[in-house]
């Protein structure tokens, strides 16, 4: 039996989905559940062997090309029939599309929420005013350290034991961090476009390197609303 709370949640989710037809969703929210390594060469090889991407303020992020590719792959993985494939390609473009002109949707980088980044920028500016560039750099490092974690990794031999000399250290986004990616529409999405986006978002469960080692496990939702994302993915959308 459906409870009052469940019925209310379903009604609110339906209303949110309908609102997306006139005011398309603008955010993709990503929650990190296991260390997420978006690998790059480290600035300081003495600290880690593989670092993760960070902006000038020290905040880690997932680049927009990585987000777009992972969403497109997720969409094509869960499509059902030619119509869904066409809708997925209309929304995300093909694997070798030039630029964004063939895509209905442009996905931004997944980074810390805008309000949090504004607070970071303000704190860094104040630190630089008081302690010059060195003070700013030290604070940016501390911010990055608070949002990331350093983990060790070794190769495993045929006997199940670690291989001598294979230890390396990785830096990744810390579990529990919530990121947001902006969604920029280049036209008005139709119900089929919203459906394929919602299904892709729900199917996107891993980002970054080390999938076989259980790194980069995530959960995603549109505009921070999981119930509306599920409703959009699996229920009929009427104008």
Query: What's the pLDDT score for residue 82?
Result: 75
Query: What's the pLDDT score for residue 153?
Result: 82
Pairing of strands 105-111, 178-185: antiparallel
Residue 206 structure tokens: 């891993």
| pLDDT above 90 for 96 | no
Q: CA angle, 89 as apex, 86 and 92 as ends, to 5°?
A: 150
Lowest-confidence pick of 14-28, 70-84, 104-118, 152-166: 152-166
3-state SS, residue 227: helix
Pairing of strands 27-32, 39-40: unpaired
Query: What's the pLDDT score for residue 95?
Result: 66
Distances (CA, A) of 92 to 15, 82, 174, 180: 25, 15, 28, 18
CA gap 7, 3 in Å, rounded: 6
Q: Report which secondary-structure segment, H or E, holds 54.
A: none
How many C-beta atoms surround the C-beta of residue 130 within 10 A?
A: 9
Model confidence band, residue 101 (pLDDT cutoffs 50, 70, 90): low
Query: What's the pLDDT score for residue 80?
Result: 78
Give the dihedral sign, CA 138/143/146/149.
negative
Look-up of token digits 């792959």: 73
What are the tens digits of pLDDT across the range 122-173? 999 999 999 999 999 999 999 999 999 999 888 888 888 888 877 888 999 9
Query: What's the pLDDT score for residue 55?
Result: 93
Average pLDDT value for residue range 64-78: 93
| pLDDT above 80 for 57 | yes
Share of the chain above pLDDT 70, in %: 92
| pLDDT above 80 for 221 | yes
CA gap 128, 21 in Å, rounded: 45
Query: What's the pLDDT score for residue 128?
Result: 94
CB within 8 A of 114, min separation 6: which ones?
180
Query: What's the pLDDT score for residue 157?
Result: 82
Query: What's the pLDDT score for residue 97?
Result: 54
CA gap 30, 107 in Å, rounded: 13
Q: What are phi and psi of 109, to 5 degrees?
A: -65, 145
Query: What's the pLDDT score for residue 44?
Result: 66
CA gap 55, 57 in Å, rounded: 5
Share of the chain above pLDDT 90, in %: 64
Query: What's the pLDDT score for residue 229?
Result: 96
Q: State the average pLDDT for the chain.
A: 89
Q: Where are the alpha helices (DSSP H) in 98-190?
A: 114-147
Ordered DSSP codes for 193-218:
HHHHHHHHHHH--B-SB-GGGT-SBE
Stated pTM of the model? 0.89
| pLDDT above 80 for 236 | no
Model confidence band, residue 121 (pLDDT cutoffs 50, 70, 90): very high
Query: What's the pLDDT score for residue 102?
Result: 75
Model confidence band, residue 43 (pLDDT cutoffs 50, 70, 90): low
CB within 8 A of 134, min separation 6: which ones?
none
């Amino acid at each position: 039996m459906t409870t009052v709370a469940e019925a209310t949640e379903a009604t609110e989710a339906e209303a949110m989905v309908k609102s997306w037809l006139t005011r398309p969703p603008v955010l993709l929210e990503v929650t990190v559940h296991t260390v997420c390594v978006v690998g790059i060469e480290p600035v300081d090889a003495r600290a880690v062997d593989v670092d993760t991407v960070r902006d000038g303020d020290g905040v880690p992020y997932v680049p927009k090309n990585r987000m777009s590719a992972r969403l497109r792959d997720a969409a094509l993985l869960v499509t059902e029939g030619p119509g869904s494939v066409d809708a997925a390609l209309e929304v995300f473009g093909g694997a070798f599309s030039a630029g964004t002109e063939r895509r209905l949707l442009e996905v931004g980088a997944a980074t810390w929420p805008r309000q949090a980044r504004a607070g970071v920028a303000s704190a860094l500016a104040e630190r630089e005013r008081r302690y010059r560039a060195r003070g700013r750099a030290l604070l940016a490092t501390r911010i990055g350290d608070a949002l990331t974690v350093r983990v060790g990794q070794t190769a495993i031999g045929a006997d199940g034991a670690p291989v001598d000399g294979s230890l390396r250290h990785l830096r990744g986004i810390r579990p529990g961090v919530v990121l947001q990616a902006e969604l920029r529409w280049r036209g008005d999405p139709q119900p089929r476009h919203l459906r394929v986006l919602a299904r892709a978002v729900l199917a996107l469960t891993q980002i970054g390197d080390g999938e076989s080692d259980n790194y980069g496990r995530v959960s995603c939702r549109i505009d921070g609303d999981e119930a509306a994302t599920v409703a959009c993915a699996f229920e009929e959308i009427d104008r």
